[in-house]
Amino acid sequence: MDLLSQDIMYLPGVGPNRKKLLSQELGIETYGDLLEYFPYKHVDRSKVYTVRELTGDMPFVQVVGQILSFETFEMGPRRQRVVAHFSDGTAIMDLVWFNGGKFIKQTYKIGKEYLVFGRPSVFNNRIQVQHPDIDDASKVDTSAMGMQPYYNTTEKMKKAGLTSRSIERLTKTLLEKLTTPLAETITPEILSKRHLMSRDEALRTIHYPQNAHDLERARLRMKFEELFFVQLNILRYASDQRRKYRGYVFNRIGDIFNTFYKENLPFELTNAQKRVIREIRTDTCSGRQMNRLLQGDVGSGKTLVALMSMLIALDNGFQACIMAPTEILAEQHLVTIRNFLKDMPVRVELLTGIVKGKKRQEVLDGLLSGEVQILVGTHAVIEDTVQFRRLGMAVVDEQHRFGVAQRAKLWSKSEQPPHVLVMTATPIPRTLAMTLYGDLDVSVIDELPPGRKPIQTTHVFDSRITSLYEGIRKQIQQGRQVYMVFPLIEESEKIDLKNLEQGFEVLCQAFPEYRLSKVHGKMKPKEKEEEMQKFVSGETQILVATTVIEVGVNVPNASVMVIFDAQRFGLSQLHQLRGRVGRGADQSFCILVTTFKLSEETRKRIDIMCETNDGFRIAEADLKLRGPGDLEGTQQSGMAFDLKIADIARDGQIVQMARDEAQTIIDEDPTCQSAQFGVLWNRLKELRKTNINWAAIS
């Protein structure tokens, strides 16, 4: 049997109890798992400092010396601080414990030589190390210690005595057992082209490097490996789909598209819109099925691009559909599209959860007969009862609420899968898009329609709220409208509503001369629609809402967005909300109201919002602040994010490198069968077997 698949229980020093902990707390079941449990940092322990050399801003250091005396300070009931005065003859420092002092005093002897290791700091003008590691100096050879690995452990493990040090001993034992070189998983060509370490060397080095440079190279190799197989998996999937399905060919531009373009389009397309439409044209002519992700900041005019793509389908005798994540948004799309197509003989219908009975039957019949040419709807569109005569183009708006599985469902609506255009207003940094939506081609609208003034964003503490009202009043006097948003607290819808209700009352009192609408997710769709409509028509001046208005709502006359408790929102959500204003020609404003006390991270979020309107910069910052796992959409997307070592936010260059190499392999061996790459395909199979998330994409 392969030594790496050996049960971890049999590694000397483990046994059944520790095995249980390792498995429950860290997911380590086998020798191989332990080998790939990488240290999170290393500390150079070959150097011994003198006490006199130490300063408060050094990282970890070690010194050799003796404890001169102990001192105990009472810090309240049953709390003691124990201090050991420690010296190597050059100066005196303090070793400090806030708990476990009794044990310390019993264990360590005055006058004996100890090796003390820890992070120095300065307290009352004196160097101290809190909770240091202490070893008997006669039993350690510092010159042989080198770089010491540190492993993450959990509270439960620590309580059971399974510390970073214990894991260190286990990895050392394991590496000594692994006498034959570990199998390589990457081809020699890639290794030499990219100057990568062998797997064997990398895995040994990553635990016990000689120096920082070797460690970096070992980490690079392991990050590359991880990202490479993610990319290979994605590209294999995409290539599979491509071979399995051919795409409908839309080889003509006809009356519908031309009439719309020449007679109905009320403005010039931006260059970015033109470019994207050309890209879609090329895809839909190519004979392969389009799977394209269209990224464009809020307000960049994606709906129009979607509509024009659908018209091309219609000109070629096909039907088209567009799906939105909410009813409000679907209804709004319907109105927008009908307006755009005014006086043209195109039948556009709506299908959402509230279209029922006779009307629903009519729509369903029309779809089956082909008379309904464009269907606008919500998730209702992918229900099994909905059948088209000949669906050629499906648009999914606001991707982050649709998963891979739902996209796949669309495919079964036609005898061949329709072309799919997925639109998102949450811009995704390139490297993340490559991983998250790696099976999609990406188009970007990086230009806003002309004449838009950048939104001015300001931050206001809630104690200064009344002065804010004056500014808002001025805007309304000039005929503008205002959004006021309260956060949605998922776990407690009651509080959420209470927030909104209270806020609404306060605002009604603050603006007695104006009319206010109120919208939240718990309202009946009809009520919600009525309230929204009052705001859209200008009958009410202020719309008080929860985040239901986050996506897609379009009221160009609204020029102020006030976000209460802005500290509760994530960056991309704030950006989405802000995108509801700035849609007309007037100067727009976004006001972020927060409590006075803010965490460091919240501060950063608010600062970035005030600094820039650029969705891509915001998305990048978001990724860095939160990490990819938290990004909206990553959970449903079906892609693995439990990367062990690589970090999509920081390792962008390695993602690109992995993508390029994976692409080269797929280009040379699209059916994934060549023996030349056998080592890669076998490894991929193994990974797909052992990691559930990996399989989710296929």
Residue numbers at the binding site for ligand ADP (CB under 6 A): 267-270, 273, 296, 298-304, 425, 449, 554, 583
Beta bridge partners of 459: 592
Q: How many residues does the chain have?
A: 698
Q: Which CB atom, from 304 or from 654, has the smaller least distance to ligand ADP? A: 304
What is the SS3 assignment for 285-353?
HCCECCEEEEEECCCCCHHHHHHHHHHHHHHCCCEEEEECCCHHHHHHHHHHHHHHCCCCCCCEEEECC
φ/ψ region of 59 (left if φ > 0, alpha if ψ in -120 to 50, else beta) reads beta
Query: Which is it for strands 589-594 and 456-461: parallel, antiparallel or unpaired?
Result: parallel
* Dist CA 649 CA 651 (whole Å): 6
Identify the DSSP state of 603: H
Report in angstroms the alpha-carbon separations of 240 from 404, 596, 664: 15, 54, 16
* Dist CA 561 CA 583 (whole Å): 12
Q: Which CB atom, from 446 or from 661, has the smaller least distance to Mg ion? A: 446
Min dist. Cβ of residue 451 to ligand ADP (A): 7
Q: Which CB atom, from 429 or from 552, has the smaller least distance to Mg ion? A: 552
φ/ψ region of 300 (left if φ > 0, alpha if ψ in -120 to 50, else beta) reads alpha
Partner interacting with residue 164 (select from Mg ion, ligand ADP, none; CB below 5-8 Å by kind): none
Min dist. Cβ of residue 448 to ligand ADP (A): 8
- Can you tell me which residue has the tokens 């470019």? 275
121 exposed, middle or buried (CB, 10 Å; 0-12, 13-18, 19+)?
middle
Q: Which CB atom, from 39 or from 582, has the smaller least distance to ligand ADP? A: 582
Q: Which CB atom, from 418 or from 552, has the smaller least distance to Mg ion? A: 552
Min dist. Cβ of residue 397 to Mg ion (A): 6
| DSSP string over 401-442 | GS-HHHHHHHHTTSSSPPEEEEEESS---HHHHHHHSTTSEE
Q: Which CB atom, from 503 or from 552, has the smaller least distance to Mg ion? A: 552
Partner interacting with residue 18 (select from Mg ion, ligand ADP, none; CB below 5-8 Å by kind): none
Min dist. Cβ of residue 468 to ligand ADP (A): 27
Min dist. Cβ of residue 299 to Mg ion (A): 8
Min dist. Cβ of residue 259 to ligand ADP (A): 18
Partner interacting with residue 410 (select from Mg ion, ligand ADP, none; CB below 5-8 Å by kind): none
Min dist. Cβ of residue 301 to Mg ion (A): 9
Partner interacting with residue 173 (select from Mg ion, ligand ADP, none; CB below 5-8 Å by kind): none
| DSSP string over 628-645 | GGGSTTTTTT------SS
Partner interacting with residue 554 (select from ligand ADP, Mg ion, none; CB below 5-8 Å by kind): ligand ADP
Q: Which CB atom, from 428 or from 684, has the smaller least distance to ligand ADP? A: 428
CB distance 409 to 386 below 8 Å: no
Q: Which CB atom, from 303 or from 352, has the smaller least distance to ligand ADP? A: 303
Q: Which CB atom, from 221 or from 333, has the smaller least distance to ligand ADP? A: 333
Q: Which CB atom, from 458 or from 554, has the smaller least distance to Mg ion? A: 554
Min dist. Cβ of residue 356 to ligand ADP (A): 28
Partner interacting with residue 308 (select from Mg ion, ligand ADP, none; CB below 5-8 Å by kind): none
Report in angstroms the alpha-carbon separations of 625 from 297, 359, 377, 594, 635: 20, 48, 35, 19, 18
Min dist. Cβ of residue 327 to ligand ADP (A): 17
H or E segment at 40? Answer: none
Segment 62 to 81, residues that bind Mg ion, using CB under 5 A: none
> Which residue is nearest to Mg ion, using beta carbons?
552
3-state secondary structure of 82: strand
Q: Which CB atom, from 424 or from 637, has the smaller least distance to Mg ion? A: 424
Segment 505 to 564, residues that bind Mg ion, using CB under 5 A: 552
Rg for the chain, CA atoms, rounded:
31
Number of residues counted as binding Mg ion (CB under 5 A): 1
Partner interacting with residue 406 (select from Mg ion, ligand ADP, none; CB below 5-8 Å by kind): none
Partner interacting with residue 319 (select from Mg ion, ligand ADP, none; CB below 5-8 Å by kind): none
Min dist. Cβ of residue 681 to Mg ion (A): 41
Partner interacting with residue 269 (select from Mg ion, ligand ADP, none; CB below 5-8 Å by kind): ligand ADP
The encoded tokens of residue 589 equal 């404003």
Beta bridge partners of 92: 87
CB-based contacts of 443, cutoff 8 Å, min separation 6: 275, 276, 279, 280, 292, 293, 294, 295
Query: Which is it for strands 481-485 and 542-545: parallel, antiparallel or unpaired?
Result: parallel
Min dist. Cβ of residue 75 to ligand ADP (A): 58
Residue span 338-377 as binding mask against Mg ion, x where in contact by CB under 5 A, dash where not: ----------------------------------------
Min dist. Cβ of residue 553 to ligand ADP (A): 9
Q: Which CB atom, from 93 or from 305, has the smaller least distance to ligand ADP? A: 305
Q: Which CB atom, from 206 or from 423, has the smaller least distance to ligand ADP? A: 423
| DSSP string over 200-255 | HHHHHHHHS-SSHHHHHHHHHHHHHHHHHHHHHHHHHHHHHHHHH-BPPP-----H
Asked if 325 interacts with Mg ion (CB under 5 A), we say no
Partner interacting with residue 551 (select from ligand ADP, Mg ion, none; CB below 5-8 Å by kind): none
Partner interacting with residue 695 (select from Mg ion, ligand ADP, none; CB below 5-8 Å by kind): none
Partner interacting with residue 273 (select from ligand ADP, Mg ion, none; CB below 5-8 Å by kind): ligand ADP
> Which residue is nearest to ligand ADP, using beta carbons?
301
- Distance in angstroms between the alpha carbons of the first and the last residue of the chain: 30
Task: Compute φ and ψ for 650, nearest 5 degrees.
Answer: -100, -25
Partner interacting with residue 304 (select from Mg ion, ligand ADP, none; CB below 5-8 Å by kind): ligand ADP
Min dist. Cβ of residue 622 to Mg ion (A): 20
3-state secondary structure of 117: strand
**What residues make contact with Mg ion under the rule CB under 5 A?**
552
